[in-house]
Amino acid sequence: MDSVRLKYLDNPKLETERLILRKLEITDTNDVFDYAKHPEVAKYVTWEAHKSVEDAKGFINWTLGRYKNDEAGEWGIMLKDNSKIIGAMGFVQLDLQNSCGLIGYVLSKEYWGKGIMTEAVTRLISFGFKDMGLNRIEAVHAVENEASGKVMQKSGMKFEGVLRQRMFAKGKFWDVKQYSIIKEDWLAKKVDLKL
């Protein structure tokens, strides 16, 4: 399964109709802070809302370290219209032995409800199957965060169940809903956007 790892290196630039998914850069600090500072955006993720630009810079530096170490890293979600980073997404975990990846994502509140995250997730799923050679892609969301579940459903994922107290974040255990898509289903349904 080393081929999966080699195909993953470098977080290549990915495109959709409205978006460019690319590596984060230190020059993206203000854009990241702009979306990550809002408590509503951080409500259901594992990290706290950013309190300063330094928090955003710390996240980007951590991500740059992951790129350097060839670890699964984040893609910045950039609007083609204005070249602004409005969110981030990536493979939070890769299980190379079982050819499985867990994705996570966050998006600026200003762009909720516009289909942007579904567009980005669908593109990342396509990359995972076509280019990385994955067989299964998973995602989870806090039970209360049904909007995230809708993104997963619209991206072709199937609900698999509730994992009780599966995630520990912000001082407590969270129940999460798990979704997945396997390559066989993706090929059968041709779940893909025009790329």
Can you state the angle between helices 29-36 and 53-68, rounded to 10 degrees?
120
| 64-76 pLDDT tens trace | 988 887 776 789 9
Residue 190 pLDDT:
66
**Average pLDDT of the residues in 121-126:** 95
Q: Which of 70, 71, 193, 180 is nearest to 134 (CA)?
A: 180
Q: Do 60 and 24 contact (CB within 8 A), yes or no? A: yes
Domain boundaries, the chain: 2-189
Residue 104 pLDDT:
95
Q: Is the pLDDT of residue 195 over 70?
A: no
Angle formed at CA 90 by CA 163 and CA 138, multiple of 5 degrees: 30
Residue matched to tokens 């408590």: 39
Q: How many residues are given for the chain? A: 195
**Tokens for 16?**
């959709």
Q: Which of 192, 88, 190, 94 is nearest to 134 (CA)?
A: 94
2-189 is classed CATH 3.30.450.20: no
| 163-194 pLDDT tens trace | 999 989 888 999 999 999 999 999 988 654 44
Residue 194 pLDDT:
42
| 70-122 pLDDT tens trace | 776 789 999 999 999 999 999 988 888 899 999 999 999 999 999 999 999 99
Q: How far apart are CA 27 and CA 16, in angstroms?
A: 22
